[in-house]
Structure 1
Amino acid sequence: MDTTNKLPLDMLYHWEKTKTNSRYMTQPIGDGKVVEYTWGRAVDEARRVASYLKSLNLPENSRIGLISKNCAQWIMTDWAIWLAGHISVPLYPTLNADTVNYILNHAECEVLFVGKLDDWDMMKPGVPESVRCISYPLSPPNDFETWDDIVAKYPPLEENVKRDAGELATIVYTSGSTGKPKGVMLSFGNMAFAAEGGMEVLGVGDNERMLSYLPLAHVFERTFVELASLYAGFQLYFAESLDTFVQDLQRAQPTLFLSVPRLWVKFQHGVLKKLPKKKLDRLLKIPVVNKLIKKKILKGLGLDRVKLAGSGSAPLASDVLEWYRNLGLELLEGYGMSENFAYSHMNKPGRSRIGYVGESLPGVETRISEEGEVQIKSPATMMGYYKDEEKTREAFTEDGFLKTGDKGEIDEMGRLKLTGRIKEIFKTSKGKYIAPAPIENRLMSHDAIEMVCVSGANQTQPHALVMLAEESRPKMADEAFRKEIEESFKQLIADVNKTVDPHEQLAFITVVSDEWSIENSFLTPTLKLKRNVVEDAYQAKVDNWYAQRRPVIWQ
């Protein structure tokens, strides 16, 4: 169908009418059981919850929060909030109580939908007493009003509510690697433009299948999963847990699959654990065996039906991209921000270039400033930051381009390469500037490394902090293992140092014993490294490391 100028609610009414009895969402509920939602049932439940929200007589455009892992109710809640004339405020399901409290107070949320969560007890103290809470079927134990009771008690809202393109639809609080989260204001028009453009580029139709498991509170999943399914009319499946992830994938048999670098690396490590790299490379060189091996590996990952695979939110090491391409999965990297609803750049099949995040998506203007900053303008760009005119002004140039804070360059085919963050660039004691991201990408080619942070402000040379891959961490006390890692890391330093300028050459690698996670605030909810937190954690030891003059140090 032609979706031109159709807003999200227009699409909702379209599928409600034309696909009433077609399956839309498959929700696992434990023990291998699932609940199926047709378009008719999903919209009916959203209309009933909208009736309930209307009955509360909240002021028009009230902010309503939702905190849950991905599930069918998450998406239906978003619709219900819009149908009731309000604004949705998603919260990451991994936030601590202080951040929950800050967001609910800053957005002045009147109501909070509480869903499937691993650590509700940690978050609960952050919810102000004045906030009315509603519980999803898979919520932790609580005494709130329940979704099922509301659906049973309230009649469906009958009118097809109209919301204007310029109206505020949602406030997305960016996790931010420093300071308090900022509330990115996105309109219905922003969402519609991103969803339509994304569909055009991906060439998706209503026969696709996707697994929704990256946080829906993040714009990447919201644009390319929730909104894409709403505009194309395809099927969504949800993951039950990390433990059942492979079974969830195999149930969904996705035709489109999106992930983030850390998970692509984990999938790769999982395969290499069973089939070492040298053996796999040897098998892939044998013509008869080659196809069978590729098919077996992709089937084992649940990705054998995937026709389009994407990676976003942070750069993926070129070796990892090559590895997947050798298996026949053309992993396409993309680039976007909360501030433009993840709609900015993407590699296109057959036109991708390793190390580049692709071409501007339809309707996106891109330029590089004199300082080398990537600046972007499109109808998907945010309305501004909620209650923060000063930061909104700082985010834009005088002629309306969004300042991304990323440094970049554009090749002859219009493909963008990100070369680092303007604010992440640090200066050595020799007065030379270093962009850590390109060096980190080279280090990530080592299959024992899961995460890396290159640092060294005010030192003579940079160094790298490294967290080992999950299967390697338990062996850190073993002498033989340490010796093996030290030898391979010495070689890694030598290899990397050959490819960089003299002032960028690494002095040493420190292997950290800590696990960098969301829970201990080393990572953002989208698994990006909080560089300042990592650097602060080890700052007191850095001078001593340099004084040791050893290539590999164990922390």
Structure 2
Amino acid sequence: MPVNHDTTFVDNLTQNVAVLFHERVASSPQSEAYRYPRGEAWESVTWKQAGDLVDRLAAGLLSLGLEPEQRVGIASGTRYEWILADLAIMCAAGATTTVYPTTNSDDVAYILSDSECRVVFAEDDEQLAKLAEHQGDLPQLGTIVTFDGTADGERVITMDDLAARGDAYLAEHPGVIERTAQSIPPEQLATLIYTSGTTGRPKGVRLLHKSWVYEGAAIKVQNILDESDLQFLWLPMAHSFGKVLLSAQLACGFATAIDGRVEKIVDNLGIVKPTFMGAAPRIFEKAHARIVMMQQAEGGAKEKLFNQAFKVGTEVDRRKRAGQSVPLGLKLQHGLFDKLVFSKVRDRFGGRVRFFISGSAALNAEIADWFHAAGILILEGYGMTENAAGATVNHPEDYKMGTVGPALPGTEVKIGENDEVMLRGPHVMAGYHNLPEETAKTLTEDGWLHTGDKGSLDADGFLTITGRIKDLFKTSGGKYIAPSAIESKFKALCPYASQFMVFGNDRNFVVALVTLDPDAMASWAEENGMAGKDYTEIVRSEKVQEMVGGYIEELNGRLNRWETIKKWEILDHDLTIESGELTPSMKVKRNVVEANNSDKIAAFYG
């Protein structure tokens, strides 16, 4: 299938998401649109069913007096109702403001106040409590619609209540949703996504209808996905990566199975059997580590078979990508190992995956190669909230491992000063909400977006990201260090690693803080006579210290002398979103971790 880089579609885009959604409903009325868990079973919804309910909810919002571009918040985890609410808001010409369910009440109040939300969809009583705590700080907030929480029938109503109000409004105003949808210009505000940010207050990124319409069309024109595909969606919908996959669905017409429970991902993949899924690198790291540890626990002949299979698979893969022939003996071995080992790895992910899409942070090349050797393709892409998530992506028929692919059709990429990646296109934000000075720093007058990422373009236009410019540091010896490159190498080597954070700015050597995956360490403890011990006791044990030390020694053998880790310590807890050390998209808040452990880091140099 040829890669389509035609950009003429940009001039003929559907004008807004509401029209795009209604066009999809009209063209695929009886096809499956969404699938979601209901108890132990999965319930399926057609595009026509989803379309009817979205229109009723949109009319309900209009009955509440919602006006064009007025903000409506969604404070919820990823679930079918989140998508219904988002589509209803845009079909009513409002603008969705996203709130992570893990956001603390003070930040929830800040986001809803800064965005001037008039209505909020709140998932449950936990989210309702956050709103009640700051009721006095949100004078503009009127009705609250809850998915599962306790309604009072007045200020707090249910989704069914909102739909019923919509029915009454539609009876009085027939055709109002279609007219409203047609009236929305491409430049109208569709979404305010507050960046989880690693420093300071979150910033509201203003994304227009044309941004999301472009993203969907740019994916469709490449012939990557179509109506025969099935997506499994677990990503946080408050994050732009999740949102862009919804745009792709409207454009391409595939069905989506939705369940935001991270702990259920692997089980769900086996049940749903999707053809593709988007994920952050941490998901692939955990899956890789789990499979490797299971084989180590088996030991003996099975572990030897597993290791030999990946040795052969990696060599076959290397030869194929280099355009070299595969000797008959190696080919026969590979065929046998594919039946005995690789097919079982693929079955863990449902057995039908054509590719995964990795985004939101850098994927370690060794882990990508490992999956590829097993016949699982991970296509890395790149983007940020400020450009509606998608700027570049590898194509199933044209990819380079270790890169984030070429620009999407209609997107421009260039390398600016200090090797900064710069982006321009229909998807770039209109600016930061209520922050004109921040906007001026980030957007040039001619529309280029400063990403803050360091990168390079090869002769074929494939982009490689080498790290965040602000995260790069220089040792006192004058050597520049890219911490993310070292950190991802360690996580590929050590199957027990959760996080590995490198420090050493203006110091004469590099140090690291390590956290280990609690689930992995619980399994390790059972196999090493420490079952039932708590996490802190396990990671402080001499045996774990020796194990981690061995992996760091192996890592150092792969690094330049000035990059090697001279001192390190395992923290007594893993990083979490709740502790404020991870963003909701599972990125490390390096400055928070550094501040929380400043004494430990200083002691390394004592």
- Deviation digits for residues 170-189 of structure 1 (CA, Å, limit 9, x no counterpart): 11111111111111111111
Q: Confirm whether residue 316 of structure 1 aligns to residue 363 of structure 2.
A: yes
Match of residue 41, structure 1, among 49, 57, 60: 49
Q: Which residue pairs with 1:245 in the alignment?
A: 265
- Aligned to 1:177, which of 198, 208, 212? 198
Are positions 1:264 and 2:284 aligned together? yes
Asked if 1 retains the 8 angstrom alpha-carbon contact of 2:236 and 2:260, the reply is no
CA 1:123–1:516: 2 relative to 1, 3 Å = farther
Match in the other structure for 1:64: 72
Structure 2 distance, partners of 1:246, 1:443, is 24
> Counterparts of 1:424 and 1:383 in 2: how far apart (Å)?
26
CA RMSD in angstroms comes to 2.5
CA distance in 1, matches of 2:408, 2:138: 44
What is the CA distance between 1:283 and its match in structure 2?
4.4
Distance, in Å, in 2 between the alignment partners of 1:227 and 1:469 is 34
Listed as ranges, the gaps of 5+ residues in structure 2 are 1-8, 297-302, 313-332, 526-534
Show the counterpart of 1:552.
none
Residue 237 of structure 1 deviates from its aligned partner by 1.0
1:553 counterpart residue number? none
One of 24, 27, 38 as aligned partner of 2:33: 24
The equivalent position to 1:79 in structure 2, one of 68, 71, 87, is 87
**C-alpha spacing 1:529/1:123, structure 2 compared with 1 (3 Å):** farther
Superposed CA deviations along residues 459-507 of structure 1, whole A, max 9, x for unmatched, are: 2111111111233444466789955544454444444444444432321
* Count of residues in correspondence between the two structures: 542
Aligned AA for 2:473?
A: F
Q: Pick from 379, 404, 415 the counterpart of residue 357 of structure 1.
A: 404
How far has the Cα of 1:256 moved from its partner? 1.4
Could you tell me how far apart the structure 1 residues matched to 2:266 and 2:560 are? Answer: 43
Structure with greater contact order relative to length (CA < 8 Å, sep ≥ 6): 2
* Distance change in 2, residues 1:479/1:211 (3 Å): closer
* Residues 12 and 119 (structure 1), Cα distance of their counterparts in 2 relative to 1, 3 Å cut: closer
Counterparts of 1:480 and 1:346 in 2: how far apart (Å)?
Answer: 38
Determine if the alignment matches structure 1 residue 435 to structure 2 residue 490: no
Counterpart contact for 1:336–1:342, Cα < 8 Å = yes
Q: Normalized against structure 1, the TM-score is what?
A: 0.91
Q: Does the CA contact (< 8 Å) of 1:229 and 1:235 recur in 2?
A: yes
Q: Which amino acid aligns with 1:325?
A: H
Alignment partner of 1:514 is 2:573:
yes
Q: What one-letter code is carried by the residue in structure 2 that aligns with 1:311?
A: S
Contact 2:509 2:566 in 1 (8 A): yes
2:108 is matched with 100
Query: Could you tell me which residue of structure 1 aligns to residue 585 of structure 2?
Result: 526
Task: Identify which range, 497-506 or 531-540, moves more after superposition.
Answer: 497-506
- For the residue of structure 1 that corresponds to 2:578, the secondary structure is coil
| Shift in Å, 1:431 | 4.3
Take 2:435 and 2:250, find their aligned partners in 1: how far apart are those partners? 31
- Of 212, 236, 242, which aligns to 2:256? 236
Q: In the aligned structure 1, how far is the partner of 2:199 from the partner of 2:232?
A: 31
Distance, in Å, in 1 between the alignment partners of 2:75 and 2:544 is: 41
Alignment match of 2:458 (pick from 411, 421, 435): 411
- The one-character-per-residue Cα deviations of 1:221-258 (angstroms, maximum 9, x if unpaired) are 1112x111111121111116345433432332111111
Change (3 A) 1:543 1:249: same
Higher deviation after alignment, 159-168 or 176-185? 159-168
Aligned equivalents of 1:259 and 1:101: distance in 2? 29
Q: 3-state DSSP class of the match of 2:505?
A: coil
What is the one-letter code of the residue matched to 2:224?
G
Give 2:342's aligned amino acid: K
Asked whether the equivalents of residues 95 and 123 of structure 1 are also in contact (C-alpha less than 8 Å), the reply is no
- Residues 274, 142 of structure 1: alpha-carbon distance in 2 compared, 3 angstrom cutoff: farther
- Structure 1: how far apart are the matches of 2:143 and 2:589? 31
Aligned with 1:150: secondary structure?
helix
Distance 1:23 1:359 in 2: 32
**Is the deviation greater in 408-417 or in 210-219?**
408-417
1:207 Cα deviation after fit: 1.6
Asked if the contact 1:68/1:117 (under 8 Å) is kept, the reply is no
Corresponding residue to 1:150 among 159, 162, 181 = 162
**Matches of residues 186-197 of structure 1 in structure 2 within 5 Å?**
186-197=207-218
Q: Is the Cα–Cα contact under 8 Å of residues 17 and 90 in structure 2 kept in the other structure?
A: no
Find the residue that maps to 2:61 and give its secondary structure: helix
CA distance in 2, matches of 1:365, 1:516: 36
Aligned partners of 1:501 and 1:46: how far apart in 2? 56
Unaligned runs of 5+ in 1: 548-555
Which of 372, 391, 396 is the equivalent residue of 2:438?
391
What's the TM-score once normalised by structure 2's chain length? 0.84
Query: Contact 2:224–2:395 (CA<8 Å) still a contact in 1?
Result: no
In terms of fraction of residues, the more helix-rich structure is: 2
| Equivalent residue number for residue 402 of structure 1 | 449
